[in-house]
């Protein structure tokens, strides 16, 4: 890779135990800056060692699971690496989840310890924890008398179970090794060109793989992470100004909110790097972000929890290919595959398959669903080994760039045509009448499926519907024009901040 004419050295493919991301030799350089204070790399190393010792003093043994149900506190930042240092397995739980969901994750993972706060602990009954017990995040017993040294664990060992949001079924625990997370952090730090001078605002949930990457990739580069639990876009704007933020990660619904907010010009130009994953950013929003944050590189990315991250689009190509997925990230092999296992030709849609060392170890205690998603890599794969079959359809263009088509199970079959909901949604947003949109196929006796568009208007309800229908009829073939449009003032989101398609389909899709 080159940057400004200089060659940027590729990251090493040799993984290490995850806690080695914190380089104590960085001394007083800040690793974390937040409302609870600033922590240097040297102090973070010491705190991790003492927390690791304190966890083992709770009677935990190597391989035991530790649940964490926390907002972005100091403890939430330290636990992933402290567990790694102690040889334990970290199980983050989204702080937005409720009692039943927390109980499921604790039972499914077999976690023996749940670290949380007093208010959340009061919502749980003793039976919710099964064989586990609660420790308050402020309990002094979690601070050990000794500082454990850097871990010497095998990088192939399990270090984390990351549960999916469960919007499309019961949550699955994705098993991640030290190597998965170490190499993922190095890869992202490399292609984002993060440096020790960067300050990253971590607004996404740490229980989300993309949210956790805000911390790990920042520390891999020697930068400073600023965790923030925000309530409004204004909170984000204030934090960018207060902490001199250079880098901001988001999912599409957050970018919609931030693009609609009032940014002081001097604050918007502070940002040097924006990253998106968790869904495609509509082209009109891409254009708006490029104008609003004129000094920032925009990284459009595609990821799978089962393989961390798969592709990114080089910022230099965003203006020419605003709907593109780009190419594979370092350490990833990304293939577009036919149903018979052969490689597709250029411009031929197929299933996106990811191979290489970022591929997770499968689903915790779920061999059946593991076998459905994790299979031997196609014969033409250069990496070989186990691959993740995403279920997503994509296409490789002649220039080698990838473009997303749709999830295979979301394709709408209407009047004998296969329609990508993404294409309908992008066309709707391009009219300027709506800010967010979800296209669904609903049962129809005559058509097989009719297209329902559920959207949040950018204008008055009447004006939005009129403009939307007029523009879509003018721009799309008849079979792609929604048979019905439902405008709502707000669309539901899942705990990771993404549009909750499953909830929308349950409520409106029958």
The rounded distance, in Å, linking the Cα atoms of 90 and 212 is: 12
| Model confidence pLDDT, tens digit, residues 426-459 | 889 999 999 999 999 998 877 888 999 999 999 9
Q: Has residue 10 been placed in a domain? A: no
> For the chain, what is the mean pLDDT?
92
Residue 173 pairs in a beta bridge with: 163
Q: Has residue 214 been placed in a domain? A: yes
317 and 215 in a common domain: yes
141 and 264 in a common domain: yes
Look at residue 3 and tell me whether its pLDDT is greater than 70.
no
The rounded distance, in Å, linking the Cα atoms of 53 and 18 is: 16
Whether the CB-CB separation of 299 and 315 falls below 8 Å is answered with: yes
| Model confidence pLDDT, tens digit, residues 113-160 | 999 999 999 999 878 887 889 999 999 999 999 999 999 999 999 999
445 and 340 in a common domain: no
CA-atom Rg of the chain in angstroms: 23
Query: How many other C-beta atoms can be found within 10 angstroms of the C-beta atom of residue 195?
Result: 12
440 and 295 in a common domain: no
257 and 162 in a common domain: yes
Q: Has residue 368 been placed in a domain? A: yes
Give phi and psi for 261, each to the nearest 5: -80, 165
Burial label, 337 (beta-carbon count in 10 A; 0-12, 13-18, 19+): buried
Give the three-class secondary structure for 259.
Answer: helix
| Model confidence pLDDT, tens digit, residues 498-509 | 889 889 988 987
136 and 209 in a common domain: yes
Sign of the torsion angle spanned by Cα atoms 379, 381, 385, 387? negative
Range of the domain at 359: 15-396
Q: Has residue 401 been placed in a domain? A: no
Q: Which of 396, 421, 456 marks a domain boundary?
A: 396
63 and 169 in a common domain: yes
494 and 428 in a common domain: yes
Non-local CB neighbours of 396 within 8 Å, separated by 6+ positions: 336, 344, 346, 347, 348, 402
Q: Has residue 1 been placed in a domain? A: no
CATH of the domain at 70: 3.40.50.12780
Q: Which of 396, 426, 460 marks a domain boundary?
A: 396
Q: Has residue 4 been placed in a domain? A: no
454 and 330 in a common domain: no
The rounded distance, in Å, linking the Cα atoms of 224 and 215 is: 9
| Model confidence pLDDT, tens digit, residues 463-497 | 998 999 999 998 887 888 999 999 999 999 888 88
The rounded distance, in Å, linking the Cα atoms of 86 and 16 is: 15
| Model confidence pLDDT, tens digit, residues 89-116 | 999 999 988 888 899 899 999 999 999 9
The residue with tokens 């876009």 is 233
207 and 117 in a common domain: yes
Confidence of residue 207 (pLDDT cuts 50, 70, 90): very high
Total domain count, the chain: 2
181 and 36 in a common domain: yes
The rounded distance, in Å, linking the Cα atoms of 338 and 396 is: 12
Confidence of residue 28 (pLDDT cuts 50, 70, 90): very high
The rounded distance, in Å, linking the Cα atoms of 246 and 296 is: 9
Q: Has residue 347 been placed in a domain? A: yes
Q: Which of 372, 396, 420 marks a domain boundary?
A: 396
376 and 422 in a common domain: no
CATH of the domain at 417: 3.30.300.30
| Model confidence pLDDT, tens digit, residues 32-82 | 999 999 999 999 999 999 999 999 999 999 999 999 999 999 999 999 999
What is the pTM for the complete model shown? 0.86
Query: How many other C-beta atoms can be found within 10 angstroms of the C-beta atom of residue 476?
Result: 17
> Closest Cα to residue 375, out of 327, 339, 417?
339
Q: Has residue 43 been placed in a domain? A: yes
| Model confidence pLDDT, tens digit, residues 246-260 | 999 998 889 989 999
């Amino acid at each position: 890779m080159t940057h400004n004419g200089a060659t940027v050295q590729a990251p090493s493919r040799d993984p290490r135990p995850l806690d080695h991301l914190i380089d104590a030799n960085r001394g007083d350089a800040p690793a974390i800056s937040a409302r609870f204070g600033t922590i240097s790399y040297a102090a973070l190393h010491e705190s991790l060692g003492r927390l690791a010792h304190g966890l083992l003093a709770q009677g935990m043994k190597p391989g035991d699971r530790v649940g964490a149900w926390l907002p972005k506190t100091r403890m939430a930042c330290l636990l992933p690496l402290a567990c790694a240092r102690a040889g334990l397995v970290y199980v983050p739980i989204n702080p937005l989840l409720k009692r039943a969901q927390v109980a499921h994750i604790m039972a499914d993972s077999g976690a023996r310890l749940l670290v949380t706060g007093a208010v959340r602990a009061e919502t749980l009954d003793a039976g919710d924890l099964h064989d586990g017990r609660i420790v308050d995040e402020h309990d002094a017993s979690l601070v050990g008398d000794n500082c454990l040294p850097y871990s010497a664990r095998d990088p192939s060992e399990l270090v984390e179970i990351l549960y999916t949001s469960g919007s499309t079924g019961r949550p699955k625990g994705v098993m991640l090794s030290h190597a998965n997370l170490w190499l993922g952090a190095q890869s992202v730090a490399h292609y984002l060109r993060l440096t020790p001078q960067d300050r990253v605002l971590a607004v996404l949930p740490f229980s989300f793989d993309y949210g956790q990457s805000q911390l790990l990739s920042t520390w891999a580069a020697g930068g400073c992470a600023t965790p923030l639990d925000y309530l409004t876009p204004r909170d984000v704007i204030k934090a960018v100004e207060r902490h001199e933020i250079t880098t901001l990660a988001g999912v599409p619904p957050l970018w919609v909110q931030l693009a609609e907010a009032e940014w002081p010009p001097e604050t918007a130009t502070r940002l040097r790097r924006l990253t998106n994953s968790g869904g495609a950013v509509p082209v009109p929003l891409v254009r708006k972000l490029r104008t609003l944050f004129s000094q920032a590189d925009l990284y459009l990315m595609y990821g799978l929890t089962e393989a961390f991250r798969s592709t990114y689009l080089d910022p230099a190509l965003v203006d020419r290919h605003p709907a593109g997925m780009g190419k594979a990230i370092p350490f990833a092999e990304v293939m577009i595959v036919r149903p018979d296992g052969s490689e597709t030709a250029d411009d031929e849609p197929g299933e996106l398959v990811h191979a290489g060392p970022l591929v997770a170890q499968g689903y915790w205690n779920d061999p059946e669903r593991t076998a459905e998603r994790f299979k031997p890599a196609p014969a033409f794969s250069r990496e070989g080994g186990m691959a993740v079959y995403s279920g997503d359809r994509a296409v490789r263009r002649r220039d080698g760039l990838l473009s997303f088509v749709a999830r295979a199970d979301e394709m709408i079959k209407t009047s004998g045509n296969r329609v990508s909901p993404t294409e309908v949604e992008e066309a709707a947003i391009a009219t300027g009448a709506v800010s967010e949109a979800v296209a669904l196929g609903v049962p129809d006796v005559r058509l097989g499926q009719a297209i329902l568009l559920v959207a949040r208007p950018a204008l008055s309800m009447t004006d939005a519907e009129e403009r939307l229908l007029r523009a879509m009829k003018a721009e799309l073939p008849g079979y792609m024009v929604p048979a019905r449009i439902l405008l709502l003032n707000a669309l539901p989101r899942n705990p990771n901040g993404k549009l909750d398609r499953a909830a929308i389909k349950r409520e409106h899709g029958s």
